């Protein structure tokens, strides 16, 4: 009789072990877990059979017996781990120790799925450690309801840090004949209701907020345009997120940025629990990765030095010759050479005095006519008048083309540009200043050699009282020229568009104080339990176009340089210098010739310079011979 009872009991245990093995295999196959760590109550033979069944499904399995010194963290370090514990045969203290280790090591996340086997749901409720439960936690209790049936209950806590209690919901059932039947399908969707809890977002102190206006009101008010655009963008994106997950958003101001702090007050607010996420998006840096978990690309953050590109100060000798091509100049010289003998002949026909006077007067007539001057010579013959008229028309046409070329060159003069480099900008010897905002010097200093060299050699040497200027004052100095202003485009470009003309806008240059393609991101604490659900929400916001809409709302485009509008700056001394040099050379030559003539006249009158007298008489004699005297 006793032997029969023992045999029946053994058979029942074997049946229960087989059923339990099938249930565990079905559950983790449904979860598609590549790795399984288990603490069972079965015999070694039953554990071996379970291991084989799980291996057949392509899973790597580790089966242990629970002890007081079991280290769950070392056993389940891989991602995608399924963990099951049969608490029906272990001391409660052992189970509580395992769950406490898991909580301390943040193992209740989206990378691990938990299965607790029990005969009583209340027993599971009393021992769970939900301090790090969140929206992505996958923690299921399987309660045995018979020899061939299990009831599955889902445990989760939306946000225990904000005072929420765990919720227990029937997830589904498992029957030997029917297998796994899950009632609740979409975990993210059913946990998306955060029941109106208040979550804090940390923002840098707004630089333009009126004293009598609250943060929420200021961040939604478009009266102040794109000022503090990154914080306004962050608040409105998180407001969309609060509508998706039904929580109340509260904006809090961060502390002041401490000198030498490379993380920043907003990043430290989320790391120490003062805020749930960053309202002002942060640039992703190596030092911030240790204390901030970044969620989703957000604001296209950029700061830059803006300045009017200084034009080259070298003397532009080519300005005189540039209107005509070389071939045209050669042809003009050829025409002049041909014109001189013809003019001399015409002057001789008009019986114009001595030979030298005729040559000199012919030269003056040709040059004067080409320079749009008149002539005092009395032209009696038709041939002379026709020749003079031809030269005048030629001079008019040439002068017209020359003038048009000069004017068009001035209107279409290319603007001097430099590379987008702090090193190149420093060579221009510009005065420096910056708009004040929390991370201004952090962006200027950067983390590469070029930025640090610029910071040490130029920016750090500025007096503290001259480093920071308001956008209005900074843009006025930029307009005056010789000044580079470090600013955020959304703060300064509205002023640029209002105060600078088209030519000044076209001369405006940007040198970025940080990488052009730098992206900022919303962040939360490294150990936050709702990270995954927030990433899903921010991705949805981006996919439906709300992110782009907010970026367009709170950013300001660079004022457009309209190249169709002809503009020209005043002619400076560098451009006019060649003309002055030409005038000065002519004046000096005339003075020298005048002195020589005075010396010659004096020598002739006094008879002291015999050589000059003989030479002059020889020239005059040749002149008389040519006149037939």
**DSSP bridge partners of 428:** none
CB 450 within 8 A of CB 421: yes
E strand or H helix that includes residue 294: strand 292-297
Query: How many angstroms separate the CA atoms of 378 and 537, rounded?
Result: 96
CB 384 within 8 A of CB 349: yes
E strand or H helix that includes residue 336: helix 326-349
**pLDDT value of position 625:** 39
State pLDDT tens for residues 131-174: 777 777 888 999 988 778 899 998 887 776 666 677 888 888 99
Q: What residues contact 334, with CB distance under 8 A and at least 6 apart? A: none
User: Is the C-alpha dihedral spanning 15, 20, 21, 26 positive or negative?
Assistant: positive
Distance of CA 173 to CAs 322, 349, 473, Å? Answer: 90, 128, 71
Query: How many angstroms separate the CA atoms of 439 and 437, rounded?
Result: 6
User: Is the C-alpha dihedral spanning 197, 203, 209, 211 positive or negative?
Assistant: positive
**pLDDT value of position 516:** 54
**pLDDT < 70 positions in the chain:** 1-17, 78-79, 160-164, 188, 311-319, 321, 348-358, 361, 372-380, 409-415, 514-518, 563-572, 574-575, 604-629
**DSSP bridge partners of 150:** 144, 174
Query: Beta strands 508-512 and 304-308: pairing type?
Result: antiparallel
Q: What are phi and psi of 140, to 5 degrees?
A: -120, 135
CB 452 within 8 A of CB 504: no
| Residue 328: count of CB within 10 angstroms of its CB | 13
Rg, the chain, Cα only: 45
What angle do helix axes 471-480 and 489-499 make, rounded to 10 degrees?
50
Query: How many angstroms separate the CA atoms of 582 and 601, rounded?
Result: 29
**DSSP bridge partners of 490:** none
Q: Is 195 left (phi over 0), alpha (psi -120 to 50) or beta?
A: left
**pLDDT value of position 313:** 62
Q: What residues contact 416, with CB distance under 8 A and at least 6 apart? A: 309, 310, 311, 312
**pLDDT value of position 121:** 87
E strand or H helix that includes residue 459: none
**pLDDT value of position 617:** 56
Q: Which DSSP symbol is given to 530?
A: T
Half-sphere exposure of 72 (CA within 13 A, CB side): 29
CB 486 within 8 A of CB 455: no
**DSSP bridge partners of 355:** none
Distance of CA 47 to CAs 85, 94, 604, Å? Answer: 13, 20, 136
Query: How many angstroms separate the CA atoms of 522 and 578, rounded?
Result: 59
Distance of CA 333 to CAs 327, 336, 340, 528, 599, Å? Answer: 10, 5, 11, 85, 33
């Amino acid at each position: 009789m006793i032997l029969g009872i023992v045999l029946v009991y053994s058979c029942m245990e074997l049946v229960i072990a087989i059923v339990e093995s099938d249930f565990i295999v079905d559950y983790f196959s449904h979860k598609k877990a590549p790795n399984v760590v288990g603490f069972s109550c079965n015999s070694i033979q039953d554990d071996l059979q379970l291991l084989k069944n799980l291996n057949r499904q392509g899973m790597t399995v580790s089966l242990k017996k629970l002890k007081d010194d079991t280290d769950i963290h070392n056993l389940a370090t891989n991602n995608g781990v399924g963990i099951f514990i049969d608490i029906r045969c272990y001391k409660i203290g052992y189970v509580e120790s395992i769950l406490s280790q898991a909580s301390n090591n943040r193992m209740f996340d989206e990378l691990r799925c938990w299965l607790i086997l029990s005969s009583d749901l209340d027993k599971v409720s009393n021992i769970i450690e939900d301090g790090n439960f969140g929206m992505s936690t996958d923690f299921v209790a399987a309660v045995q309801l018979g020899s061939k049936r299990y009831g599955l209950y889902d445990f989760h806590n939306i946000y225990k840090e904000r005072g929420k209690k765990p919720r227990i919901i029937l997830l589904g059932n498992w029957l030997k004949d029917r297998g796994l039947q899950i009632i609740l399908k979409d975990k993210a969707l059913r946990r998306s209701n955060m029941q109106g809890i208040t979550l804090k977002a940390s923002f840098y102190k707004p630089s333009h907020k009126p004293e009598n206006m609250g943060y929420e009101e200021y961040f939604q008010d478009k009266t102040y345009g794109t000022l503090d655009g990154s914080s306004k963008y962050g608040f409105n994106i998180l407001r969309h997120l609060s509508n998706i997950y039904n929580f109340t958003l509260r904006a809090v101001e961060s502390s002041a940025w401490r000198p030498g702090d490379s993380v920043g007050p907003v990043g430290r607010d989320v790391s120490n629990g003062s805020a749930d996420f960053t309202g002002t998006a942060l640039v992703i840096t190596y030092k911030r990765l240790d204390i901030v978990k970044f969620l989703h690309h957000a604001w296209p953050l950029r700061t830059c030095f803006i300045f009017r590109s200084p034009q080259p100060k070298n003397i532009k000798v080519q300005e005189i010759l540039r209107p005509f091509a070389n071939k045209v100049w050669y042809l003009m010289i050829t025409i002049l050479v041909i014109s001189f003998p013809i003019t001399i002949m015409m002057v001789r026909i008009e019986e114009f005095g001595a030979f030298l006077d005729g040559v000199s007067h012919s030269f003056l007539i040709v040059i004067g006519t080409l320079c749009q001057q008149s002539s005092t010579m009395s032209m009696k013959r038709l041939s002379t008048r026709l020749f003079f008229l031809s030269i005048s028309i030629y001079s008019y046409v040439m002068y017209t083309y020359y003038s048009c070329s000069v004017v068009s060159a001035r209107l279409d003069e290319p603007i001097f540009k430099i590379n987008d480099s702090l090193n190149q900008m420093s060579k221009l010897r510009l005065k420096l200043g910056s708009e004040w905002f929390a991370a201004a010097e952090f962006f200027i200093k950067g983390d590469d050699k070029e930025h640090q060299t610029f910071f040490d050699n130029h920016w750090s040497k500025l007096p503290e009282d001259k480093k920071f200027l308001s956008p209005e004052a900074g843009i006025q100095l930029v307009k005056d020229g010789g000044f580079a202003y470090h600013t955020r485009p959304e703060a300064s470009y509205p002023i640029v568009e209002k105060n600078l003309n088209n030519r000044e806008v076209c001369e405006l240059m940007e040198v970025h104080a940080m990488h052009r393609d730098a992206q900022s991101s919303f962040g939360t604490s490294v150990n936050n339990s709702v990270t995954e659900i927030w990433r899903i929400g921010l991705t949805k916001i981006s996919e439906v176009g709300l992110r782009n809409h907010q970026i367009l709302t709170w950013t300001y485009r660079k004022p457009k340089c309209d190249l169709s509008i002809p503009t020209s700056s005043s002619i400076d001394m560098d451009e006019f210098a060649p003309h002055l040099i030409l005038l000065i050379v002519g004046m000096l030559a005339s003075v020298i010739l005048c002195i020589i003539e005075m010396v010659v006249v004096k020598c002739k009158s006094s008879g002291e310079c015999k050589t000059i007298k003989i030479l002059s008489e020889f020239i005059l004699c040749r002149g008389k011979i040519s006149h037939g005297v």
